[in-house]
Chain A
Amino acid sequence: MQQISAENIISAFSACADFKKRTVRYGGGVCQVFFIEGMTDITALSRFVIEKLRQSVNISDAIDSGEISFCDVEEPDTEEKVINGILRGRAALLSVEGAYLFDMRKAEKRSVGQPDEESSVKASKDSFVEDMKVNVTLLRKKIVSADLKAKRLTIGRQTHTAVSVLYMGNIANDKLVEDVIRKLSEIDVDGIITPGVIEQNFSKNLYSFFPQILVTERPDKVAKSLLNGRCAVIADGLPIAYILPATLAQFMATPEDYSGNFIFSSVVRLLRYFLLGVEVLLPGGYVALTTFHCEMLPGKLALSIADAREGVPFPVIFEVLAMLALFEVLIEAGLHMPQSSGQAVSIVGALVVGEAAIAADLVSPAALIIVAISAICSFAMPDQEFSNALRLWRVIITVAGAALGLFGIIAGGILMLAHLAGLESFGVPYLVPFAGGVRFKIKDSLIVVPDKLNEMRPQELDVKNKRRTK
């Protein structure tokens, strides 16, 4: 066992004003208590550890006999473990008898609230918070089973962030679990402060716009994925969970789909796929048709568009790209403005875009309608990251349409599909079950079916227990 020196620990925390040292006399001698102010509950430390200690002769006896029984106690064998313990809010006690870490952490945490980004009407209303333990507890409340395994790792050279890998031991493929743990272990960064760190390390193709890992703030979504045989990763300090592996079909599903009538949900989901196409292709299609293929427009529509563009000094492509850019600017401004001013951005945006720009003949109403429809479609996408990727592809396809007409649109569409077909998330093709070597399964991809009609777990995950029912 390594000799743990109080001097070394004090030296490690030199120039840390919030690092505190207390000397305590007890029956058997003198010991030193170290902790970080603000992270450790000092009242509890004084009352349940120091007070009890003063009355004791031997520290280990006091712990064993239950005199000091208020909290978990660890006996670290290295200085590094002691330092890590202190950094996590534990109180370290060093005496001639040895070193002890008392879990006296003061919990400053947000209470579980409603999801901000993924709201629903009938599905559960809880969402993850920044505390990993609370998040794991939320899942344990939904899956009351010892088969829900939670392996814990520490990531970040400086931050030492605790990360949990959750999976159903009797369902998930072992190789997938091993892969997830291996990838997490390979993460070599200073710290996990933002969600992007884990996302980037899990993404096979870093240069893709599309998210290759599903991020959610909803415990019910994670629970459903775990029951399907997927893995989840929860990092301390992040109010989200990562679901692995991710496929396109998952990005098009919402928990609400499983909360109501399955026929209605199926129609809505099909509509969502249609809207995906509209979002990506509509602005490009408009540019291509009005610039190259006017003969394809119905006569009255062509005249109406030509009428509307009368007096507009810019080409259609410039008009559409400018409107798309303005739309992005409005979204960005709305995100960064204080909530009280957010409304003002919308009003100014609507006035500037909707009224003044048309009145000044800077844009035509037709282009505005096209961009607005496309924008509304992008809001219908359940996942923000996925929607962002589609918005970027929309610009590429619009430019292709302006350069090459319908050929450009088709080429852009093929390029996007080829790119999607090339993506993988932990060995699972992104376009599963529409492509990727598994049998096309319409259930739970294009349409929603009741659980009793959807007996099999996803084929692509190669789970241990393939049937949901007996």
Chain B
Amino acid sequence: MKIKKLLVLLLIPLVFCSCRENAQIDEMSFVKVIGIDSVSSGLRVTVGIPFPSKNDEAQNKKVESRTVQCRTLSEGMELLEASYDKKLFFGQVSAVIFGEDFARNGINDVIDFLVRSPEMRFDLPVSVVKDGTAEEIIAGNTDTVISEKIEGLLDSVKATSVSGNIKLSKLVEMLEDPFREIYLPYMTYDDVTNPEFAGYCIFNGERMNQFLTPEHSLGVSFLNNSVTNHTYVQELNGESVTLKITNSKTGIKLENGIFNIRITAKAEVLQAGDSVESFNDQTVTELCRMLDKEISETVDGTLNVLTQNKCDATPLGDCFEQSNPKAAEYGEWSEMLPRIKYTVNADTKLDISKTVQRSVKQKGNR
């Protein structure tokens, strides 16, 4: 009797399991990257699929790219599936790339499909191609797995700023938030085999609005989360001092209708000339003041661009919503953006311990 009860208990969860066809791992082709572009008739979907190493074609190229034209992404998937002898498996996708045209036309439907797909993971990094198409990027990189290249690039973005790497889950959150617009990292390329990330593009709703310059992208990083790696070169006493921001934290408060934005940052000296090597309090204060000014100007310039374009890719809207229980009654946040008032203050602490040690040692050697 006990065994029967136990079996029933074990079988109950089966009811909650969605049954799907299983397939042997070697009977599947792993889609590593999906690219989506706009064409007049709808969409152009490109997938990058690594060749098995035992395949003869793998001697020449590592990835096979295949493109289909379709009206919707789900139709595209079916067409791709039909064109393959193996089952296409999307659970291993590690990058989604949108072409510029597609991003400008609206990404909602595609995001909806990606999120609903039972195979697709939620931690997929999403990025946009500037002045090009996703197909070009994927088809032009058959000697290597483009998703790995993109992952590597995104890792460097992530190393620069915690908020740099936008995943599918984060994208959905931003899409659903009425007080926040989407920003996505974008890549540019001269040589299709060597793309690089240049900054963020910002959206109005589901449509891409514009590409931000690297400086304004840095401002977005400062406003959204921690900047963990950025170098500034300052001139002091006629010599260059290279300073590196190692960490930053941003606090936003809405007081008397004014957004007070306070950025606290930690920095260290990477390189300095002989005349500024013996860091005294005055030198440190001066360098901190310079950094504060740089950061404030960066953030101020970014906010200026964002507010004028009515794209709030920062936590300002969330702060407004939290501070005003009836925020929704004020109307569209994007319409209010150009009228908001804000102050930006930066407070940088400079760590000179490593530099001083090096300086003393050099003096000793002399």
Contacts and interface: CB of A to CB of B under 8 A. Distances in A.
Contacts of B199: none
From B30, B32, B92, B147, residue with most partner A Cβ within 10 Å: B92
A55 to B, nearest CB: 74
B119 A295 contact: yes
A411 B25 contact: no
A66 interface: no
A205 to B, nearest CB: 12
B92 A295 contact: yes
Contacts of A290: 24-25
Contacts of A422: 2
B92 A302 contact: yes
Interface string A287-326: 0001110110101001101110111100110000000000
B25 A291 contact: yes
A291 B26 contact: no
A295 B121 CA distance: 8
Task: Identify which of A295, A310, A315, A414 gathers the most chain B CB atoms within 10 Å of its CB.
Answer: A295
Contact of A414 (B10, B24, B53, B92): B10
A6 to B, nearest CB: 60
Nearest to B90: A295
Contacts of A291: 22-25
Interface in B11-69: 13-14, 17, 22-26, 28, 30, 32, 50, 52-55
Contacts of A295: 89, 91-92, 119, 121
B143 to A, nearest CB: 16
Nearest to B119: A295
Interface in A393-422: 404-405, 407, 411, 414-415, 418, 422
Interface residues of B, number: 26
Which of B2, B10, B25, B94 lies at the interface centre, i.e. has the most chain A CB atoms within 10 A of its CB?
Answer: B25
Nearest to A311: B54
Contact of B24 (A307, A311, A315): A315
A307 B52 contact: yes
Contact of A305 (B10, B14, B25): B25
Nearest to A298: B92
Contacts of B54: 307, 310-311
A24 B89 CA distance: 95
Contacts, number: 65
B10 A294 contact: no
A302 B94 contact: no
Nearest to A316: B24
Given A407-B13, A415-B6, A294 B30 contact: yes
Contacts of B92: 294-295, 297, 299, 302-303
B77 to A, nearest CB: 16
A294 B26 contact: no
Contacts of A292: 22
Nearest to B32: A299
A418 B23 CA distance: 31
Central interface residue in B6, B26, B28, B30, by most chain A CB within 10 Å:
B26
A407 B23 CA distance: 16
Nearest to A315: B24
A290 B94 CA distance: 18
Given A306-B28, A310-B54, A414-B10, A299 B94 contact: yes
Contacts of B91: 294-295
A294 B25 contact: yes
A422 B6 CA distance: 12
A307 B53 contact: yes
B151 to A, nearest CB: 9
A418 B24 contact: no
A362 B25 CA distance: 16
Contacts of A309: 24-26
A302 B28 CA distance: 10
B26 A312 contact: yes
B13 A302 contact: no
A268 B165 CA distance: 41
A322 B24 CA distance: 17
A13 B14 CA distance: 67
A408 to B, nearest CB: 10
Contacts of B25: 290-291, 294, 302, 305-306, 309, 316
A307 B2 CA distance: 45
A312 B30 CA distance: 18
Contact of B10 (A299, A312, A411): A411
Contacts of A414: 10
A303 B13 CA distance: 31
Interface in A329-376: none
A290 to B, nearest CB: 4
Contacts of A418: 6
Contacts of A415: 6, 10
Which of A297, A299, A306, A422 gathers most chain B CB within 10 Å?
A: A306
Contacts of B6: 415, 418
> Residue among A305, A312, A315 with the most chain B CB within 10 A?
A315
Interface of A: 290-292, 294-295, 297, 299, 302-303, 305-307, 309-312, 315-316, 404-405, 407, 411, 414-415, 418, 422
5 contacts: A290-B25, A294-B89, A295-B89, A295-B91, A415-B6
Given A291-B23, A306-B30, A407-B14, 6 more contacts: A295-B89, A295-B121, A306-B28, A307-B54, A309-B26, A310-B26
7 cross-chain pairs, A with B, having the tightest CB-CB distances, nearest first: A295-B91, A309-B26, A290-B25, A310-B54, A411-B10, A307-B52, A291-B22
